[in-house]
Structure 1
Amino acid sequence: MARELRVPEALTALPAPVRWLALPVALTCAVVVLVGSRGPAEPGVEVPQPGGRAAGYCRSLAAALPAELLGHARKDPSPASPYVAAWGSSPRTVLRCGIDRPEELDGDHAADWSPSVDDVTWWSQKLADGGYRFVSTMRAAYVEVTVPAGAAQNPFDPAAALSGVVRVHVPG
């Protein structure tokens, strides 16, 4: 026995074009609300693809990285990768392990300030937005720490705080 579909009176009182558009408009609004509720998209972080021993060193480093860095909780970008870690929210400090050797190390910036902490030498580069990029040198894998302006009281502090764990897990 077939069941009869009953349309509410409020809908039958509407002109036909309005009734026909009601469902598509409602579905479109639902999609907009769902997509909009996800919040702003996370800024993209390029994930390195190290090979060989460098990949192993980077995975070992990732497992040993702290859950907190200078009072900022670790909040890794999505999708998760053993080669990328981040602390804080906005601005946030980002570590990438297994990056390619920076071309700048061969150019005018090769002589830029390169402090050493715990036997890890960090080549530094001031970024256009006022932040800094630090890259470990003379190690089996290049480790990059990007510190945007305002992420730390002293831009070098995050790299310095990570030096010990880098030294232990990425041999020189």
Structure 2
Amino acid sequence: MVLVTAAALAVALAVAVAVFALTQRSSSDTAGPLPLVPVPAPAAASPGCTTLLAAVPTELTSNGTSLKVRTLADPAPPATVAWGTDDPLVLRCGLNRPPELTPTAALRLVNKVQWLQVPGEGASTWYVVDREVYAALTVPDSAGTGPLQQISDTIAAKLAPRPLRFS
């Protein structure tokens, strides 16, 4: 149990650092590839992640603005894609089960996909919790609901729903 808690805390810390780094970028920093910190993603090479990442759109719409796929700096984290420049959105696949996922957690159903929202500083990370792999979409607070809906559509089309897992 201690090992599981320690691993969950390590993932949470890595996600928090990534969100902080993403929200602290200035416009002048966005010309080149986007550097992202790696987070544990033990299922990043799974068939579910391969299927999902091959199907994600090359553009997302946020508050009427088109966000194009962003090049990631080397070494890029596995099974990760980002969109936009100033406040990029980041999708990671193959993550561990989020520790916040409990039988009493508040989930949101978006276009047939169940999400768990984990608020952060300036952004929220939304975890897909009802598919064969856990994926997370980190979205700046300034973004609209369009990206979450678009990614939900892709997930619903490519990955079959599964019962929730709490352990």
Equivalent residue for 2:70? 75
Q: In the aligned structure 1, how far is the partner of 2:81 from the partner of 2:154?
A: 13
TM-score, normalised relative to structure 2:
0.65
Q: Could you tell me which amino acid in structure 1 is paired with residue 148 of structure 2?
A: A
Check 1:76–1:49 CA distance in 2 against 1; reply closer, same or farther (3 A cut). farther
Query: What root-mean-square deviation, in Å, do the aligned CA atoms of Structure 1 and Structure 2 show?
Result: 2.5
Equivalent residue for 2:16? none
Q: In the aligned structure 1, how far is the partner of 2:36 from the partner of 2:111?
A: 31
Specify which of 143, 157, 162 is matched with residue 146 of structure 2. Answer: 157
Q: In the aligned structure 1, how far is the partner of 2:110 from the partner of 2:151?
A: 9
Equivalent residue for 1:146? 138
Check 1:77–1:124 CA distance in 2 against 1; reply closer, same or farther (3 A cut). same
Gaps (5+ residues) in structure 2?
1-30, 162-167
Q: In the aligned structure 1, how far is the partner of 2:78 from the partner of 2:154?
A: 15
TM-score, normalised relative to structure 1:
0.63
Q: In the aligned structure 2, how far is the partner of 1:161 from the partner of 1:45?
A: 25
Q: Could you tell me which amino acid in structure 1 is paired with residue 46 of structure 2?
A: A
Equivalent residue for 1:111? 105
Task: Choose between structure 1 and 2 for higher RCO, CA contacts under 8 A separated by at least 6 residues.
Answer: 2
Q: Rg: which structure is higher?
A: 1
**Is the 8 Å Cα contact of residues 36 and 77 (structure 2) preserved in structure 1?**
no
Aligned residues: 125
Q: In the aligned structure 1, how far is the partner of 2:84 from the partner of 2:33?
A: 16
Q: Could you tell me which amino acid in structure 1 is paired with residue 136 of structure 2?
A: E
Specify which of 117, 128, 133 is matched with residue 125 of structure 2. Answer: 133
Q: In the aligned structure 2, how far is the partner of 1:62 from the partner of 1:138?
A: 17
Gaps (5+ residues) in structure 1?
1-38
Check 1:160–1:45 CA distance in 2 against 1; reply closer, same or farther (3 A cut). farther
**Is the 8 Å Cα contact of residues 58 and 170 (structure 1) preserved in structure 2?**
no
